[in-house]
Amino acid sequence: MTARGALQLSEKDNVATLLEDAAPGTGVLIRLGKETSTVKAGESIPFGFKIALTDIAKGAAIIKYGETIGIASCDIKKGEMVHIHNLEGGRGRGDLMKGEVK
Amino acid sequence: MNFMGYERPDGSAGIRNHVLVIPWGFLAAKICDFVDGTKTILSPDSGSGRTSRDRETIARTLIGLGRNPNVASVIVHTLSAGVGYPELAPARLAGEIARSGKRVEILDVVKEGGTLKALEKGVQLAREMVLEASRLRRQPFDLSQLAVGVKCGASDTTSGIAGNPVIGNLFDRIIAAGGTAFFGETTEIIGAEHILSKRGINAEVSRQILEAAARTEADAKATGDDIRTVNPVPSNIAGGISSLEEKSLGAIHKSGSAPIQAVLKYGERPEGKGLYFVDNWMSMGSIFAGYAASGAQLVIFQLGGGGFFGHDLLFTSTAVVSPLMWTTANPKTLAMAPTSLDFYSGTVIEGKDTIEEAGGKLLQLVLDVASGTMTKVETLRHTDPTQIYLRDPSF
């Protein structure tokens, strides 16, 4: 079990931000205000990167700060790292047609 | 809450006491080489081949820097008075700065009979003005006389969690005391503009916030680039930020919670006090001079830094007349650049401070710096060049 764990910023969020490095298989303490829960890290996730709090299906919104920060570009399993390899931002995308997200 | 500042004729409070020489050029550079206590804007933006809108931005920047309370007096030098663009005419620049009541002198090469003769005159003039400024003594001013500007940069996920919220708390405290604060970086409200726009003091301000974001997003799309190859910048992505939306949602925390009084142009001076959104460009080479021209006596760079390593000496400022303070919430960044960083808010992540407590400590440091304590990078003579934020094509 990690000590500082990860910070969940809103109850709507499906990701939390690691406050320390997490090794694969480690239980990560998820802190939301005074509430805590545990998610097992599915892979190595460094400080400052995001961990999935639930399974997130391809095409579903990824929520942080209670707001959409992007769309899952593939199925993401609970405990996996969420970053540019599986999260697709949708705003300001000159490479996409309007409103289109891969 | 008070700080010790220099009283200016218009009642404003300088936290520094410079003699400013504008615009940039041979005379300004050489006068500043010879005379201690002088500053110039290191910028090649002369207005040549620029639209009237861009020339007005350059003029607004120069005039605003001259009017900044940190400036005791100003020399405007000219190679050919009266034959350039009207916006940048020396008499216009000098006249608008002099409205603040401070001393402004025009140094005209033709009138002095050549460049070196003008240099001699300029050096003697600057020495006299520096001596005059040095006779001023600091006196107490209320926090309501302070204006600060912030940029968040090399942002990582500590920025949105702790670094920016602590700056936001500082802003709330300054504004509650009747002071002024500036934030901006329009690209970095895209994805968060629906939250920010609700804080406009009226429907028009809210509309302007949304419009600034929409215009910037349209400009971004028109390039055909994937914005993720532009902004978030590579260091953001290496620091854990995955999309522009995520960056923006973290970035807006630096504005605190006060209502937004108006949307300002780069370098525009506000009519009143409170919190202002400046429609500007995030580049550190540009943004700080704009804040100083808007009237900020102090500028802050809130650094993430998780995505780069080895930068122990951080950028030293382009705010020309206003000192730059560095903050971070990332413990690795602090370990990397302890000789540049002035304040550490990672105590929030470590559970040692609340955002409120860290904000209170930061305010104390801001009051110290406003009273004369130097920031770490301020101890260096080096100044990086300033890029005035010009939006039109050049011709």
Closest CA–CA distance from residue A34 to any residue of chain B (Å): 12
Structural domain boundaries, residue A28: 2-97
Q: Which of B192, B228, B306 lies closest to A89 in CB terms?
A: B228
Q: Tally DSSP H helices, then E strands, for chain B.
A: 14, 14
Task: Work out the pLDDT band at A102, boundaries 50, 70, 90.
Answer: very low
Task: Encode pLDDT of B198-213 as tens digits.
Answer: 999 999 999 999 999 9
**Chain B residues touching residue A2 (CB < 8 angstroms):** none
Mean pLDDT computed over B288-303:
97
- B-chain residues within 8 Å CB-CB of A19? 349
**Burial classification of residue B139, based on how many CB atoms lie within 10 Å of its CB (0-12 exposed, 13-18 middle, 19 or more buried):** exposed
Q: What is the DSSP string of B260-320?
A: EEEEEETTPPPSSSEEEEEE----HHHHHHHHHHHT-SEEEEEE--TT-----S------T
Q: What is the pTM of this model?
A: 0.94
pLDDT of residue A1: 54
* DSSP 8-state assignment for residue B386: P
Residues in chain A: 102
Average of per-residue pLDDT across B234-240: 89
How close B218 gets to chain A, by Cα (Å)? 7
Residue in B212, B297, B261, B269 with CA at minimum distance from that of residue B61? B269
Q: How much is the mean pLDDT over chain B? A: 94
Residue range B244-262: mean pLDDT, rounded: 96
Tell me what the mean pLDDT of segment A71-83 comes to.
Answer: 97
What's the whole-number average pLDDT of chain A?
91
- Which of A17, A67, A91 comes nearest B244 by C-beta? A91
Is B354 in CB contact (< 8 Å) with chain A?
A: no
Nearest to A89 among B222, B242, B330 (CB): B242
Q: What is the mean pLDDT of residues B219-247?
A: 89
Residue at A83 is within a domain: yes
Strands B147-153 and B180-183: parallel
Q: How far is CA B13 from the centre of its chain?
A: 17
Query: For residue B375, is pLDDT > 70?
Result: yes
Tell if the CB–CB gap between B191 and A93 is shorter than 8 Å. no
Geometric angle at alpha carbon A51, from A46 and A57, rounded to 5°: 140
CB B19 within 8 A of CB B126: yes
In-domain check, residue A102: no
- What per-residue confidence (pLDDT) applies to B305? 87
| Beta carbon pairs, A and B, within 8 Å | 100
Q: Which of B225, B245, B351 sits opposite A70 (nearest CB)?
A: B245
The answer to whether residue A88 is domain-embedded is: yes
We report the CATH number of the domain holding residue A12 as 2.30.130.110
Q: Is residue A91 part of a domain?
A: yes
- The residue of A4, A10, A56, A69 whose CB has the most chain B CBs within 10 angstroms, and thus the best one to mutate to test that interface, is A69
Q: Is B176 helix (H, G, I), strand (E, B) or coil?
A: helix
Number of H helices, E strands in chain A: 0, 9
| Amino acid at site B63 | I
* B227 with A19: Cβ contact below 8 A: no
B57 — pLDDT class (breaks 50, 70, 90): very high
- Tell me which chain A residues have a C-beta less than 8 angstroms from the C-beta of B246: 64, 69-70, 89
Let me know if residue A40 belongs to a domain.
yes
Is residue B68 a contact partner of residue B295, using CB atoms and an 8 Å limit? yes
Confidence of residue B157 (pLDDT cuts 50, 70, 90): confident
Residue A89 lies in a domain: yes
Residue B231 has pLDDT above 90, yes or no: no
- Alpha-carbon distance B46 to nearest alpha carbon in chain A (angstroms): 32
**Residue A6 with chain B: CB contacts under 8 Å:** none
Q: Please check the confidence at residue A21 and state whether its pLDDT lies above 70.
A: yes
Q: Is B383 helix (H, G, I), strand (E, B) or coil?
A: coil
- Tell me the pLDDT tens digit for each residue of B108-153: 999 999 999 999 999 999 999 999 999 999 999 999 999 999 999 9
C-alpha closest to that of B104 among B61, B56, B67: B67
Helical pair B284-294 and B52-67, crossing angle rounded to 10 deg = 60
pLDDT at B285 over 60: yes
The alpha carbon of residue B103 is apart from the nearest alpha carbon of chain A, in Å, by 47
pLDDT > 70? residue A3: no
In total, how many domains does chain A have? 1
What does chain B come to in residues?
395
Q: What angle do CA A45, A47, A52 make, to 5 degrees?
A: 45
For the beta sheet containing A67-72, the strands, ordered from the edge strand earlier in sequence to the opposite edge, are: A61-64, A67-72, A87-88
**B61-113 per-position pLDDT tens digit:** 999 999 999 999 999 999 876 678 999 999 999 999 999 999 999 999 999 99
Spatial CB neighbours of B222, under 8 Å, sequence gap ≥ 6: A94
Q: Return the residue in A18, A47, A100 with the most chain B beta carbons within 10 A, the one to mutate for interface testing.
A: A47
What is the pLDDT confidence band of residue A93, given thresholds at 50, 70 and 90? Answer: confident
Is A66 within a domain? Answer: yes
* Sheet of A27-32, strands arranged across: A35-40, A27-32, A6-7, A15-18, A50-52, A81-82
Residues of chain A positioned with their CB less than 8 A from the CB of B220: 92, 94
Is residue B351 scored above 70 in pLDDT?
yes
